[in-house]
Amino acid sequence: MAESWVNSAERIGADLHLEISGAGAGGRRAALTRALREAVRSGRLMPGTRLPPYRSLAADLGVARNTVADAYAELVAEGWLTARQGSGTRVAERAEPLGTGTRVPKKAPPRARGPRHDLRQGTPDASSFPRAAWLASYRRALQQAPSEVFGPGDPAGRAELRAALAAYLARARGVRADPERIVVCSGFAHALRLLFTGPDAVLRGPLAVESYGLGFHRELLSGASVRTVPLPLDEDGARIGQLDRERAVLLTPAHQFPTGGPLHPSRRAAVIDWARARGGLVLEDDYDGEFRYDRKPVGAVQGLDPERVVYIGSVSKSLSPALRLGWMVLPERYVDGVLAAKGEREAWVSVLDQLTLADFVACGSYDRHVRRMRQRYRRRRDRLVDALATHAPQVEVTGIAAGLHAVLRLPSGTEASVLKAAAWQRVALEGLTGFRHPQATTAAPDGLVVGYATPAEHAYGAALDALCGLLPPG
């Protein structure tokens, strides 16, 4: 009996679905030839795919070995397949018209070439991910995990991770965190969705935001029908005194994004006073608070009043955005609402990743990694400052006391031309104007937001040379 499913996984690691039942004219060989040709033509068998050996495919289909050999030979002659000693029979790597008057589907066009140098903000050096230490934590977590880990879990997140985070955040960031008030999420954007989206949203607008920030976050909030009101910035951070009837305010108080600088102590106290007086809420985005270089770390605003602040953090800057691991430390009154928004089954972070991070923090590997990267990024920042002092002394560098990026102030009217030249030279850069709230009323200075953490270590020097070559002359 002819089979339509070919299972040769134990021999070549691949399954084939071939319809050869009802062979019709030409018998089994012709039916197999047609089925294989159609699989290639339709794209189900991609160029380079290795086909089963004659004997394996013949046994799976219940046909003679010579039937398969003849079908393969015919398709090799037509150019659909290739056969080489030691490599087996594979789908041909070609997209030209074949002898049958049909074509092998063309491969997707190659993507445009990526940047030669990537100096965009927001991404740590991917080559510095602590693979060995992370793997050791993963193995320990997997070996010690109870069986219930592999069943339905707690939407708040694993208790092991929440306990580890509570201890770490209290010690390193001054957060007053009870594990029962921590909800694990996949990052800051996920936290915003949990707080603001859905018919039973935990929070509603209007929401005050700093006049410079990520456009993606503003778009997410706008999609949830949340009106954002820009707060002007000055050298002391957001101008808290201009808060009015907003229900909440979103701040980056440890290191304003992207302009740099912490929120002044008097304004940290003022925003808590505003929240208490108005029944408002502060959303604290602590996106890179661990990376301080020239002064003592600035503790979290949440420590001033845990019932008036939602503290949000993640590992996207300290470890990798690929992990999709973040957390919220919530006032008690919001915990149930956030858990209801998260749901019983969906929008969870991988439990094994949670257990791995819990071990990674508890055993001290996280602290060691942060200290190591703090030193590396400080050296990179210093190299950037030195290169600009030598090759572009007319450019002012700001926001460099912390974080993974710096702001380069440019002469008025030059930002667009620099970005155009960067695109031509395949240097990935972002302009300061692109982070400005569209309703901001203050003047928008020209500038670049340069991520000095993104390039790999071996490529950083060349990236700096390329950057300096783009800057306007003094």
How confident is the model over 65-94, as pLDDT tens digits?
A: 888 888 898 888 888 888 887 778 888 876
222 lies in a domain? yes
337 & 352 share domain:
yes
Question: What pLDDT score was predicted for residue 408?
Answer: 96
Average pLDDT over residues 156-170: 95
Peptide bond into 206 cis (omega under 30): yes
- Cα dihedral 135→285→167→373 (10° resolution): 40
Confidence of residue 23 (pLDDT cuts 50, 70, 90): low
Q: Which pair of tokens denotes residue 146? A: 């109870």
Question: What pLDDT score was predicted for residue 347?
Answer: 60
311 & 426 share domain:
no
Question: What pLDDT score was predicted for residue 97?
Answer: 43
- E-assigned strand segments in 23-165: 81-84, 88-91, 117-118
Confidence of residue 2 (pLDDT cuts 50, 70, 90): very low
User: How distant, in Å, are the alpha carbons of 85, 112, 385, 420 from that of 425?
Assistant: 45, 14, 22, 9
16 lies in a domain? yes
- E-assigned strand segments in 133-199: 182-185
State which of 367, 397, 432 marks the end of a domain: 367
Checking if the pLDDT of 413 tops 60, the result is: yes
Query: What pTM, to 2 d.p., does this model score?
Result: 0.79
State which of 338, 367, 396 marks the end of a domain: 367
99 lies in a domain? no
156 & 225 share domain:
yes
Question: What pLDDT score was predicted for residue 1?
Answer: 41
Alpha-carbon gap, residue 356 to 341, rounded angstroms? 25
State which of 308, 333, 367 marks the end of a domain: 367
Checking if the pLDDT of 98 tops 70, the result is: no
Question: What pLDDT score was predicted for residue 20?
Answer: 74
Question: What pLDDT score was predicted for residue 188?
Answer: 93
User: Number of folded domains in the chain?
Assistant: 3
Residue 427 β-bridge partners: 117
User: How distant, in Å, are the alpha carbons of 27, 44, 49, 87, 90 from that of 52?
Assistant: 21, 15, 10, 11, 9
Alpha-carbon gap, residue 72 to 398, rounded angstroms? 66
Confidence of residue 51 (pLDDT cuts 50, 70, 90): confident
CATH of the domain at 392: 3.90.1150.10
Q: Strand, helix or coil at 436?
A: strand
Phi, psi angles (nearest 5°) of residue 132: -65, -45
Alpha-carbon gap, residue 259 to 94, rounded angstroms? 51
Which of 251, 209, 257 minimizes the C-alpha distance to 230?
A: 209
Average pLDDT over residues 96-104: 46
Mean model confidence pLDDT for the chain: 87
CATH of the domain at 43: 1.10.10.10
Question: What pLDDT score was predicted for residue 319?
Answer: 94
Phi, psi angles (nearest 5°) of residue 335: -60, -50
Average pLDDT over residues 385-405: 92
Question: What pLDDT score was predicted for residue 407?
Answer: 95
Confidence of residue 397 (pLDDT cuts 50, 70, 90): very high
Question: What pLDDT score was predicted for residue 135?
Answer: 97
398 & 278 share domain:
no
376 & 352 share domain:
no
Question: What pLDDT score was predicted for residue 410?
Answer: 93
37 & 145 share domain:
no
DSSP string of 393-433, one letter each residue: TTSEEES-SBSSEEEEE--TT-HHHHHHHHHHTTEE-EEGG
- CB neighbours (10 Å) of residue 20? 24
166 & 210 share domain:
yes
181 lies in a domain? yes
Average pLDDT over residues 389-412: 92
433 & 301 share domain:
no
Phi, psi angles (nearest 5°) of residue 426: 60, 45
Alpha-carbon gap, residue 341 to 204, rounded angstroms? 14
Determine which of 101-115, 178-192, 210-224, 337-351 has the lowest per-residue pLDDT on average. Answer: 101-115
Structural domain span for residue 50:
5-91
Checking if the pLDDT of 105 tops 70, the result is: no
Confidence of residue 154 (pLDDT cuts 50, 70, 90): confident
Q: What is the pLDDT of residues 310-328, one digit of tens each?
A: 999 999 999 999 999 999 9
Question: What pLDDT score was predicted for residue 15?
Answer: 64
> For residues 408 and 90, which has the higher predicted lDDT (pLDDT)?
408
Determine which of 234-238, 281-285, 296-300, 335-339 has the lowest per-residue pLDDT on average. Answer: 296-300
Q: What percent of the chain has pLDDT over 70?
A: 90
Contacts of residue 417, defined as CB under 8 A and 6 or more positions apart, other chains included, come to 472
321 & 196 share domain:
yes
Identify whether the C-beta of residue 91 lies closer than 8 Å to the C-beta of residue 81. yes
Checking if the pLDDT of 393 tops 60, the result is: yes
Average pLDDT over residues 424-429: 92
Contacts of residue 469, defined as CB under 8 A and 6 or more positions apart, other chains included, come to 425
199 & 348 share domain:
yes
Question: What pLDDT score was predicted for residue 197?
Answer: 85
297 & 327 share domain:
yes
Checking if the pLDDT of 251 tops 80, the result is: yes
Average pLDDT over residues 219-247: 91
Confidence of residue 58 (pLDDT cuts 50, 70, 90): confident
Average pLDDT over residues 214-236: 90
Q: Strand, helix or coil at 107?
A: coil
